[in-house]
Amino acid sequence: MPRHLRVEFPGAIYHVTIRGNARQKIFNDDHDRERFLQRLADSVETYGERLYLFCLMSNHVHLVVETPSANLRKFMQSLETGYTVYYNLRHDSCGHLFQGRYGAKLVEGNEYLFKLSRYVHLNPVFVGSENSLILMERIERLRNYRWSSYRSYIGTDKPLSYVTYEPLLAQTGVKSRRQALNYRQYVEKGLAENDEEFKEILKRPTIGGDEFSARIRDAWQDMADKVAQPKDVDFRHRSPILESHAVLETISRHMRVPMEAFREQRRNSLLRPLAAHMLLKYAGLTNRAAAVLLNLHSGEAVGLQARKAQVMQKQDKQTQRLMEAIEDDLRHHSLGFCGQQKY
């Protein structure tokens, strides 16, 4: 059976789960856990990810990570392969350590990311015998659990260099000196509450509202349609198609902006109109798929942005020269690339 397609775009946030093969333990002792976190820190730095939180359990791991460069696959390959090699050497074992492919659900952010952080950080006291403890015992166990980012969020431990805290702490709605306390109260309040609505959301393919889920579903369907080629594909002419990431990276370099800027709303900016135009023309995306990459609400909005770029090109000589330079680069790339579009 073919693998389920991943939807990737700059700035995407994922809830990643890694499980031991056949439910086996992936950490035998604290030395294993420390080595995994070291590998995690190295991979975050190498691939430029934003790790929001983590939680290590005996036979599985939770990560919440943002990918500014749309490179989740490379990041996870580095993390899993590096740790597996270490584990097999240390424990004189061989073969697969992890159960098949890691899980990765897209997260909308804001309130959904905030609620997800509570769910992930509460994992150590929602398993096995921990469920039978009284409330104060569970709170004590949670605050003493060393193998998640929770202690550094609430100020018990020093901040970790490879964890990005600001986006979540900012959602506590208070000034910086009270953020850790408010976050602790928010998470621990979850021990006494039963958020059935969010539990149902966690069962969905994406973690977010209906509109967000619909946009991701549309983008996935566009990808699936492209993979489903006719049987006589070898006899058909195939136009050069660039990866969407390569298109955005080229524009980013010419305009001297970070990749995450494509998902930001900026008044009177050429950035998203230009990106929309180039993604449709050189990456062969549908309007709906481009909308997901650019954080726009609909395919119609992408069409409007793309037409805006064409109008600006005709009206402004500087814009015309910029677009010509970018297109020259993209045509140069396309000469050496023919293949399936990837996200």
Q: What is the mean pLDDT of residues 182-195?
A: 90
Tally: H helices and E strands in the chain: 14, 4
Domain end marker among 186, 202, 218: 202
End-to-end CA distance of the chain: 20
Instruction: Note down the domain range covering 256.
Output: 232-334
Q: What is the mean pLDDT of residues 165-181?
A: 91
SS3 52: strand
140 and 236: one domain? Answer: no
> Who has greater pLDDT, 300 or 147?
147
Would you say residue 3 lies in a domain?
Answer: no
Q: What is the mean pLDDT of residues 309-321?
A: 87
Identify the weakest region by mean pLDDT among 39-48, 151-160, 207-216.
207-216
Would you say residue 224 lies in a domain?
Answer: no
79 and 35: one domain? Answer: yes
184 and 318: one domain? Answer: no
Res 289 pLDDT > 90: no
Confidence at residue 280, expressed as pLDDT on a 0 to 100 scale: 86
* Number of alpha carbons in the 13 Å side-chain half-sphere of residue 59: 9
Identify the weakest region by mean pLDDT among 35-49, 144-158, 218-232.
218-232
Confidence at residue 228, expressed as pLDDT on a 0 to 100 scale: 55
Confidence at residue 237, expressed as pLDDT on a 0 to 100 scale: 37
Tell me the pLDDT tens digit for each residue of 69-88: 889 999 999 999 999 999 99
Confidence at residue 283, expressed as pLDDT on a 0 to 100 scale: 81
Domain end marker among 180, 202, 224: 202
174 and 321: one domain? Answer: no
Q: What is the mean pLDDT of residues 321-326?
A: 91
Confidence at residue 175, expressed as pLDDT on a 0 to 100 scale: 83
**Dist CA 83 CA 322 (whole Å):** 44
271 and 149: one domain? Answer: no
The enclosing domain of 238 has a CATH number of: 1.10.1750.10
Q: Look at the chain and report how many structural domains it folds into.
A: 2
Q: Six-digit token pair at 31?
A: 């030395």
Which H/E stretch holds residue 229? Answer: none
Confidence at residue 338, expressed as pLDDT on a 0 to 100 scale: 37
Contact by Cβ (8 Å): 322, 49: no
Res 2 pLDDT > 90: no
Identify the weakest region by mean pLDDT among 261-270, 314-323, 329-338.
329-338
Identify the weakest region by mean pLDDT among 143-147, 172-176, 265-269.
265-269
Contact by Cβ (8 Å): 248, 10: yes
Domain end marker among 202, 224, 241: 202
Contact by Cβ (8 Å): 97, 26: yes
Res 337 pLDDT > 50: no
Q: What is the mean pLDDT of residues 16-23?
A: 93
| pLDDT interval class at 239 (50, 70, 90) | very low
Percentage of the chain with pLDDT > 90? 48
167 and 283: one domain? Answer: no
The enclosing domain of 164 has a CATH number of: 3.30.70.1290
Would you say residue 214 lies in a domain?
Answer: no
- Is this model's pTM higher than 0.75 or not? no
Res 285 pLDDT > 90: no
Would you say residue 6 lies in a domain?
Answer: no
Which H/E stretch holds residue 14? Answer: strand 12-19
Would you say residue 57 lies in a domain?
Answer: yes
